Amino acid sequence: MINLFLIGIGTGNPKHLTVEGRLAIAEADLFLIPHKGNDKSDLADLRTQIIADIRSDANIVSFDMPVRDAAGPYIDCVNAWHKAISNIWSEAIANHPNAIRIALLVWGDPSLYDSSIRIAALLNPVPKLTVIPGITSIQALTAAHGISLNTLNAPVTISTGRQLRDHGWPLNTETLVVMLDGTCAFQELDGADYDIWWGAYLGMKEQVLEAGNLSETTPRIIERRGVSKSSHGWIMDIYLLRKRSI
């Protein structure tokens, strides 16, 4: 039976890879590596570099990610996109009948805003799944700033830029972590009421950090985000917001 390994690789620093992840890479028969498109080709390069550092005989299939249709309802488009990706994985697996241990290197951790686990469930036949945890961008953010994720005995909400933009600050929330935000949705908030800890390219040599009261920090983040994005061609950033009193 096929065993599909989803290996969390952390957020861009090859040293984030766990010993368990290294072992799984050392023993895999086949790697599936997505091309991210030209602007994010350094992300695909990092995956191949991580594999090359561990072994020189890796059997790698690179595939182009299908383009997600943006025309229909969001969830329908995402489901169709996942199905298209699972078809590509199925074909690559079928083309390598001797490969039993198939590995995908997943950015951060496979459980956090990543669909690899859902896509794996669409494969036919459904493989045995082994998930190897990785350092998440949330951990990379809190570690870079030297802060705790939660305040004493309090919950944390994890959400997206889209949710913050469309629905505002979530009810009964003191700490909000926002991911996948291409439009600086924090601008919708009344900055005086919040503190922010922001980071981009966490774990990578390009890492940039900003922290402070939201109203004072917002112009700096927007400026640094714009400059970084135009020099690298892409950006990944994340932030933690804390409401001053709820």
Ligand X SMILES: C[S@@+](CC[C@H](N)C(=O)[O-])C[C@H]1O[C@@H](n2cnc3c(N)ncnc32)[C@H](O)[C@@H]1O
In the structure encoding, which two tokens stand for residue 134, read together?
């990785």
Q: Does 179 bind ligand X (CB under 6 A)?
A: yes
Residues 6+ apart with CB under 8 A from 29: 59, 96, 98, 99, 100, 101, 102
Nearest to 221 by CA among 242, 200, 207, 195: 200
- Rounded Cα–Cα distance for residues 33 and 65 (Å): 10
**106-125: contacts with ligand X (CB under 6 A):** 107-109, 112-114
Q: How far is the CB of 5 from ligand X (least distance, A)?
A: 16
Between residues 99 and 137, which has the closer beta carbon with respect to ligand X? 137
Q: What is the distance between the alpha carbons of residues 138 and 199, in angstroms, rounded to a whole number? A: 10
Residue 12 engages ligand X in binding (rule: CB under 6 A): yes
With the C-alpha atoms ordered 55, 26, 62, 37, is the resulting torsion angle positive or negative? negative
Nearer to ligand X, 210 or 237 (CB): 237
Q: How many residues bind ligand X (CB under 6 A)?
A: 21
Give strand ranges (E) for 186-236. 194-200, 208-213
Decide whether 109 or 127 has the Cβ nearer to ligand X. 109
Least separation in angstroms between CB 201 and ligand X: 5
Single residue of 237, 240, 241, 242 touching ligand X by CB under 6 A: 237
Q: How far apart are CA 78 and CA 86, in angstroms?
A: 12
3-state secondary structure of 6: strand
Task: Pick the binder of ligand X from 120, 236, 240, 241 (CB under 6 A).
Answer: 236
The amino acid occupying position 93 is: I
Residue closer to ligand X, measured from CB, 99 or 239: 239
Candidates 32-40, 61-69, 151-159, 195-203; binding stretch for ligand X (CB under 6 A): 195-203
Can you give the binding site for ligand X, defined by CB under 6 A? Answer: 11-12, 107-109, 112-114, 136-137, 179-180, 199-204, 236-238
